[in-house]
Structure 1
């Protein structure tokens, strides 16, 4: 059981007073209650305050859960706006021998909108090994869409050495698409 409160002395005044006296606070950032800690004090029971000598021993433990800030949780995908930009991205990736993942999506497509944050979390997972981009097919020239050979949205393609290696057409549930994309990435890393 974990308890989080802005002011723990309000929730457990008897515990707070006793442990404050014993100075078991851990530098003000986290509090670790010792195992089998019982306390004495007054308790509300049957409509009146009663003095209780020893309450049932319980194991109390409060911890702070800090996020790991060394890794990003999500990385925003960069947009591709025309064929020249795609050529530059593919040339740079080929020099680094690094694959590129492109999400072909449309602003009106609900599945595309729902899938994009999931792919950005996946981008954070593989941020050192692969670059993630997206193309909004309604905002780019149709020559770029034809170059990607896109017929359905969302389509997630993995490009390596300047050519498209594999694709996932995401018309089904986002968690399944995310797993398929993860497997596709692991093949080419």
Structure 2
């Protein structure tokens, strides 16, 4: 006669109250209806939070405990977009700024036509969130910068993930194999910095 915890979710968009802007969604409300084991009483929790309809995270689901209360939510990002580097002078500024702050940066060299680069990028964005704000991640599209910069960085294959510190390349991982192996090697490179 064991009864499992049942959760009913419903989401409804809240619309803007600004005249002429009725289609703009400001936030969504999640309503949790649940029934605890061996209980005939049903309870509801309402959680209202602004989130992006496409990329929003529903960590509130993990915050629901068996007692039916909400724990404090973790607002750290799940992924962070790699910041693009567009030119040699931009690259020099990023490296100089990191050197001045005595920080390391990760630079991912990729191309828009490279399939392995495309598959690796979202995994690197999740890794960037793990190291946020201690470490910044950048990406360089080799087709959009000068060949001089690509040669200066020693990029011969793609994708390549490099760790730069003190104005110098300290390490690199060539991403020609499975994504999870590349991520593990990058994580190891960061930890051994």
TM-score (norm 2): 0.68
Give the match for residue 36 of structure 1: 38
Q: Which has the higher contact order (CA 8 A, sep 6+)?
A: 1
How far off its partner does 1:124 sit? Answer: 0.6
CA 1:169–1:67: 2 relative to 1, 3 Å: farther
Question: What are the superposed Cα offsets for residues 63-82 of structure 1, whole Å, 9 maximum, x if unpaired?
Answer: 58889442011111111111
Q: Of 117, 122, 125, which aligns to 1:120?
A: 125
- Helix, strand or coil: the match of 1:184? helix
In structure 2, the partner of 1:5 is: 8
Query: 94, 102, 105: which is aligned to 1:97?
Result: 102
The answer on 1:168 being equivalent to 2:177 is no
Paired residue secondary structure (1:100):
strand
Q: How far apart are residue 3 of structure 1 and its match?
A: 3.0
Matching residue within 157, 162, 184 for 1:157: 162
Instruction: Indicate the structure with greater strand content.
Output: 2
- Corresponding residue SS for 1:172: coil
Q: Greater Rg, structure 1 or structure 2?
A: 1
Change (3 A) 1:64 1:115: farther
Unaligned runs of 5+ in 2: 11-30, 42-65
TM-score (norm 1): 0.69
What is the root-mean-square deviation of aligned Cα atoms in Å? Answer: 2.5
Structure 1 residues 6 and 127: alpha-carbon distance in aligned structure 2, compared to 1, 3 A threshold: closer
Structure 1 unaligned residues grouped into runs of 5+: 8-27, 40-60
* Counterpart Cα distance in 2 of 1:31 and 1:3: 5
Q: 1:166 to 1:32 in 2, by over 3 A?
A: same
Which of the pair is proportionally richer in helix?
1
1:107 aligns with 2:109: no
